[in-house]
A = this chain, B = another copy of it.
Amino acid sequence: MKAMGSTCWIIPEGFVPSRSMANADRPLLSHEAFCVLNIGDADAHIEVTLFFTDREPVGPYRGQVGARRTRHFRFNDLDDPEPLPLDTDYASVIRSDVPIVVQHTRLDSRAADIALLSTMAYPAV
């Protein structure tokens, strides 16, 4: 199958609350994710750069999405070169060596219940 999408995706919104609802298991823990789909026949090597309000960007964070595979990466699982700071505004750029498609989500369980947001990321190239 032919790869489709873009090799650079931009997500201006980013905020992972440090709080979650009581007894949240991993699925219900407050988190943000970028969901990658690589429908092509070559593995995608991706590099994520995080942007902040008051300091230089951090990255690249590296990941891989196999041919014909999807991976939903949690921003709060990123830890190399450094963990994502919680309760902090950030933004992200996701680059890939082959075309991919990227969607952004947040599950927010700070209050007694969950709230969700999602949008397609912005294809910059």
* A115 cross-chain contacts in B, Cβ below 8 A: 107, 113-116
Copies of this chain present in the complex amount to 4
| Contacting pair B118 A13 (CB below 8 A) | yes
A50-70, CB under 8 A of B: which get 1 and which 0? 011110110000000000111
Q: Flag if A101 contacts B37 (CB, 8 Å).
A: no
Say which size band chain A's interface belongs to.
35 or more
Binding site secondary structure of chain A: strand
- Complex contact B68–A53 (CB within 8 A): no
Query: Which residues of chain B are near A123, meaning CB under 8 Å?
Result: 122
User: What are 29 A-B contacts with C-beta separation under 8 Å?
Assistant: A5-B10, A5-B122, A5-B124, A12-B36, A12-B37, A12-B72, A13-B33, A13-B103, A13-B118, A14-B70, A27-B87, A27-B110, A39-B57, A51-B68, A53-B69, A57-B68, A70-B90, A71-B89, A101-B122, A101-B124, A104-B118, A105-B117, A107-B115, A111-B114, A112-B112, A112-B113, A113-B115, A115-B116, A119-B120
